[in-house]
Amino acid sequence: MLVRTLDEIRGTDREVFAENRNWVSARLLLKDDGMGFSFHETTIFANTETRIWYKNHLEAVYCVEGEGEVETIADGKIYPLKPGTMYALNDHDEHYLRAFSELRLVCAFNPALAGREVHLPDGSYPLEGKS
């Protein structure tokens, strides 16, 4: 069985900051753990907007803390985020993620991230790469 805590991850290779410092991701499970998905706790810092397009991945996100919104770019729809809300990017939806206060999100990626991926200029993560 695998057991990890956030305290163990802080300050290690499994803690990944966005290049623009909009978020930090604690990568609790990664590809090498063999679960078929990766599993992260992501903190999105307050008053940030991040453009995201996971064209190579599916992601489900569950909000446990904070207030924000997701705007899907194709249709301009706004989805409020608050504790207890889940959204799933089942259509590889390109979107803006906005944090009005610090958001604490639990995220699962399929296929699993391999390590220290950060967003490419188009808002995606590479399929196999470690950046």
The footprint of ligand 9YT (CB under 6 A) covers 23, 25, 40, 42, 52, 59, 61, 97, 105, 107
**Comparison of 7 and 15: residue with beta carbon closer to ligand 9YT:** 15
Cα dihedral across residues 123, 31, 29, 35: positive or negative: positive
Question: CB of 125: closest distance to ligand 9YT in angstroms?
Answer: 7
β-bridge partners, 17 = 24
Question: CB of 34: closest distance to ligand 9YT in angstroms?
Answer: 19
Question: CB of 1: closest distance to ligand 9YT in angstroms?
Answer: 23
List C-alpha distances in Å: 82 to 40, 58, 87, 115, 117.
Answer: 18, 21, 11, 28, 26
Contact 123, 56 (CB under 8 A): no
Cβ-proximal residue to ligand 9YT, closest one:
25
Of 41, 47, 58, the closest CA to residue 21 belongs to 47
Q: Any idea what DSSP says for residue 114?
A: -
Question: CB of 41: closest distance to ligand 9YT in angstroms?
Answer: 8
Helical residues (DSSP H) of the chain, grouped into ranges: 6-9
